[in-house]
Amino acid sequence: MEFFSILGDNVALGLATALTPEHLFYCALGVFLGTLAGVIPGIGTLAAMSLLFPLTFYLSPTAALVMLAGIYYGTTYGGSTTSILLNLPGTPSAAVACIDGHPMASQGRAGVALLITTIASFVGATVGILLMMLFSPMIVSVALQFGPTEYFSLMALGLIVAATMSNESPLKGLAMILVGIIVGLVGLDIYTGAGRFTFSSPTLYDGISIVALAMGLFGVSQIIGSIRSAESKVSNIQKITIRSMLPTLTECRQSVKPLFRGAGIGSFFGALPGSGGTIASFVAYATEKKISKTPERFGHGAIEGLASPESANNAADQTAFIPTMALGIPGTASMAMMLGVLMIHGISPGPSLMSNSPDLFWGLIMSFWIGNLLLLLINIPMIGLWVNLLRTPYQYLYPGILMFICLGTYSVSNSTIDLWLVILFGLAGYALLRLNFTLPPLLLGFVLGPLMEENFRRAMLYSRGDLSTFVTHPISGSFLGLAVAILATSFYLSARRKRLKEAPAP
């Protein structure tokens, strides 16, 4: 019982931090702007997050955190809205929402689809937050015993899972992670102070800013790719009234169980390093289809096919915070973004955060929950605004997005050097996208690379240069064993997929 009374105290502490009028205002602002950016077609969750994060740099740390939470949820939700109405997934994890969400919209049930998405976000996130509150303290107590050897192996495992899951070719995923690590190496070496890849330019000594990298990779490259393709698209989106959002009684009954099943599935996959929302939503969809008595309805606007994956997606987004906050190891690119921005605010997540600054840790968790609640309250009356935004032709929107990229980047350091980096990464990202590489693993490598190097070097100091230390430590050894097994499986699967694809051709 003592455990729960401590938990109760922590929740109270968190709520006291998050519930001041000022913080509520910034949370609401974050949700609003996040949804706005997430809704814009061609701007995925990562791009929307990188566009808006610089705004928080001008706020006090706590206000910034609360606003970050709002932005984070807002962008995810905005992405789903675009998927349903335009059949155009802004993020891979929103792709599943297209399968049944868009048919619902074509049948005139767009309002219901949007409402279910909102509710699913809330249910999934709430379950995820509860689990996070329960499990984070336990994971922290285990993680306190981790040394650099274990950390290195755990990060290697996370990166390998991320590389193999996000791309059909595991080699390309691995390559993107390595490129990310190399970009992350730019700057001063923490042990010796030697400048690496700085080319004697003092501005590169601090390393490359995550804002510049993310804006280039996910903002500029996407815009370049979208301008022409958006011109040929004619949007025919119906008007959505609050009344049309009300689901029928049957629809309510049909979606209750999937909501919670999805939340369970999502929570599990989210907490695994490297997997996250995309896999969770696909698994949730497949599960619903399998256990349904009427699987033939799936793909033609089955409400379960929308409720469950959306709930899973949001639960996973939430439990993905468990490794991020408790271990300091982000499992997905959006978590890596979050971690990077927290570090800019002077917060370094990890086992010591929870004991050293509990107000911050619990305040953040509670503001996630409040962010979700506000999402529900703000977005239902504003849905008309989002629909109008989606009707606006892209050519009127992209100059504005570019302006946000410019001002956001410029404001981080008040210098134009980051803008030139945005251009460089934008071009590189566009080329990589066209050559069928996926970019999110690059960001993950960028954030984890320096941490990996630090732990690798520390581990080598402890073991006096004996590489076998990674295998002989039991926890570290099992992490690496798992990583090798996953890598081998994914190479086998991708080779088989290739053979199957080429077999029918003469």
Partner 1 sequence: MRSINQSDFTGGLVLTLLGAATTGYAWIELPIGTVRQMGPGFFPAAIGLLLFFIGVFIALGALKSSDRLPTFELRSALAVIAGLAGFALTIDRFGLVPAIFVLTLLSSFASQKLNWRVSLLISVILCVLAWAIFLQGFNMPIRLWRWPF
Residues that bind partner 1 (CB under 8 A): 55, 58, 169, 171-172, 174-175, 178-179, 181-182, 185, 189, 191-192, 194, 196-197, 220, 223-225, 227-228, 231, 393, 395-396, 398-400, 402-403, 405-407, 410-411, 414, 416, 419-420, 422-423, 426-427, 430-432, 434-437, 449, 453, 456-457, 460-461, 464-465, 467, 498, 502
Q: How far is the CB of 504 from partner 1 (least distance, A)?
A: 14
Query: Strand, helix or coil at 196?
Result: strand
Give the integer Cα–Cα distance in Å for 328 and 143: 10
Q: How far is the CB of 112 from partner 1 (least distance, A)?
A: 34
Nearer to partner 1, 3 or 492 (CB): 492
Nearer to partner 1, 69 or 84 (CB): 69
Strands 187-188 and 195-196: antiparallel
Give the integer Cα–Cα distance in Å for 163 and 105: 34
Q: How far is the CB of 245 from partner 1 (least distance, A)?
A: 30
Nearer to partner 1, 117 or 455 (CB): 455
DSSP 246: P
Nearer to partner 1, 320 or 459 (CB): 459
Q: How far is the CB of 310 from partner 1 (least distance, A)?
A: 30
Nearer to partner 1, 297 or 457 (CB): 457
Q: How far is the CB of 403 from partner 1 (least distance, A)?
A: 5
Q: Judge contact between 158 and 329, C-beta under 8 A.
A: yes
Query: Strand, helix or coil at 108?
Result: coil
Give the integer Cα–Cα distance in Å for 248 and 258: 16
R_g of the chain computed on alpha carbons: 22
Give the integer Cα–Cα distance in Å for 74 and 68: 10
Q: How far is the CB of 451 from partner 1 (least distance, A)?
A: 12
Nearer to partner 1, 183 or 335 (CB): 183
Give the integer Cα–Cα distance in Å for 65 and 362: 11
Q: Judge contact between 49 and 334, C-beta under 8 A.
A: yes
Q: Judge contact between 453 and 155, C-beta under 8 A.
A: no
Q: How far is the CB of 430 from partner 1 (least distance, A)?
A: 6
Nearer to partner 1, 239 or 497 (CB): 497
Nearer to partner 1, 285 or 430 (CB): 430
Give the integer Cα–Cα distance in Å for 381 and 242: 7
Nearer to partner 1, 55 or 245 (CB): 55
Nearer to partner 1, 18 or 64 (CB): 64
Q: How far is the CB of 220 from partner 1 (least distance, A)?
A: 6
Residue among 424, 485, 446 at smallest CA distance from 216: 424
Over the range 266-302, which residues count as b (16 or more CB within 10 Å of their CB) and which as e? bbbbbbbbbbbbbbbbbbbbebbbeebeeeebbeebb
What lies within 8 Å, CB to CB, of 38 at 6+ separation is 44, 45, 48, 74, 75, 76, 77, 78, 79, 81, 82, 90
Q: How far is the CB of 364 from partner 1 (least distance, A)?
A: 21
Give the integer Cα–Cα distance in Å for 321 and 331: 8
Q: How far is the CB of 279 from partner 1 (least distance, A)?
A: 23
DSSP 89: -
Give the integer Cα–Cα distance in Å for 244 and 167: 38
